[in-house]
Structure 1
C-alpha cells in the first residue's frame, strides 16, 4: 500500500504539529484536522491542508477522512472528556470512514493496562480506542509513548518494548517521527509497543527497528498481561467494536 496523503488528528497539538512537520519532510501530503483555521495557519507549515471538524461529532469528519491513505491519531483531552475525545475521536473517525480502511498510527500511552493503580479513567478510554483500531481491519501500528520530554540531549536511541511493564521518557519529536515512520514501514504493521528513549544514536534503519516485535493476535496488545473481557464492557463499547468489524465484513 502506497502512502501519499495522511490525516493528522490533533494536528495543532504538540505531537500533531511535529507529526505534520515530519510528514512534510518524508514527502507526504499532510492534512490536519483542526477546530480553528486561523490558529492552525499560524502554527503549521505553509501548504498543510487544513480541514475543520469536531472530534466528538462523526458527521463533521467526512471531509477530513476523504481520500486519505493514512491517519495519525495524536489527539488527547485537556478538559477531562476522555470518553468523548480520547476514545470518541477514534470511534467517530471510523464511523466517518464507513468501509474504507486506510493505514493507521495511533498514539496511545504507557500504563493503559494498569487499571486500579491510580491513573484515572483516561487509561481505560485509551485502551478501548486501541481495541477499535485492532478490530477495524486497517493495517495499523499502536505506539504507547513514555513520559514526554523526560529525555536528555544524548538520548537518541529508541527502545521498543511490549507488554506494558516498562517506564521511561521520550521526546515529542521522537514520537512524531516514529508515528510517521510506522506508516511507511511494513515491519510495523499489526504491532503495539511502548516507546522510550535512551542514551545513544538515533535509529537509521526503521525496518530493522520494528521487525523484532511480535504482532498482535486479538483485542489486546500481544504481550499485555491484563486483559478485560469484552462482555464486561459497557454496551456502547461492545457495539462500537462490532460496528468497525462489520463495516469491513459487510463491504
Structure 2
C-alpha cells in the first residue's frame, strides 16, 4: 500500500499510542487531519480525537485492526523481565509485522540503540535481545517497514538531530524528535526497508527528512 500525501485524510494504527512517545505520534497525525486508532493496554489514556481499542500486543493482534489502515506504528515500552520483553518486543511485534505484510500496510517500529550490542549493557540483556529479535522479525516479514532507533529518551523539545546507521553511537533523543521522524517515515517511500539511529544534536538544524531518507542505506545492502 502506498501512503497518500498528508493532505488526504487517512486511517492509521498506532500500537502504544497512549505511551509517552506514541501519543506524540498520534497528536501529529491528528493535527494533519488523519484518523487514528490507538491500540493500547490503557485505552482510557489516548489523546482526544483518536479511537481507542484495548490490545496487549504480547498476546498477538487481530488482523482486522489493520483493515483500512494506510500505515501502522509500534511504539511500546518494554516489560522489565526477559520473558515479558520477548513476548511483547519479539513475538508481538513479529505478529503485527506478519499481519501488516499480508494486508499491504507499511510499518514503522520504534526500537532503540544498543539493539545489536547486548554485551555493553548486560543488565538489560533480556530487553535488548527481545528488541533485536523483534527488529529481525519485522525485516523478515515482507512488510514495507522503517525501524527508528532513538537514543536515551527525554521529554525536551525537538531540535537538531543526528542520524546514523550501524548502531555504534550513544546519546539522548527527544521524544518529540522521534515522533517527527516516525510520522515523516510513514509518508515517505524512501524510508522503506531502512533502519537508523536518531540522536539530539543542538548544533545541527532540524532534519529535512525528504533529504535524509534517500541518503540512508537499505538494510542488507
TM-score, length basis structure 1: 0.77
**CA displacement at 1:206 relative to structure 2:** 1.7
Unaligned runs of 5+ in 1: 223-251
Q: Work out which of the residue numbers 164, 168, 173 in structure 1 matches 2:171.
A: 168
Unaligned runs of 5+ in 2: 5-9
Map 1:77-226 → 2, pairs under 5 A: 77-80=78-81, 81-94=84-97, 96-97=99-100, 99-117=102-120, 118=122, 119-149=124-154, 156-199=159-202, 200-203=204-207, 205-217=208-220
1: distance between equivalents of 2:185 and 2:100?
21
**CA displacement at 1:25 relative to structure 2:** 2.0
Deviations 1:47-90 (A, max 9, x none): 212122221222x5334222212110101223421011111221
**Root-mean-square deviation (Å):** 2.1
Query: What secondary structure is seen at the aligned counterpart in 2 of 1:110?
Result: coil
Query: What secondary structure is seen at the aligned counterpart in 1 of 2:205?
Result: coil
**CA displacement at 1:156 relative to structure 2:** 1.1
1:70 equivalent in alignment to 2:71? yes
4+ residue segments displaced more than 4 Å: 95-98
TM-score, length basis structure 2: 0.86
Q: Specify the alignment match of 2:41 in structure 1.
A: 35
Query: What secondary structure is seen at the aligned counterpart in 2 of 1:56?
Result: helix
1:22 equivalent in alignment to 2:28? yes
2: distance between equivalents of 1:185 and 1:98?
18
Contact 1:20 1:30 in 2 (8 A): yes
**CA displacement at 1:170 relative to structure 2:** 0.8
Q: Specify the alignment match of 2:59 in structure 1.
A: 57
Deviations 1:128-172 (A, max 9, x none): 111111112211110010111186x6x611111011001111101
Change (3 A) 1:97 1:185: closer
Larger radius of gyration: 1
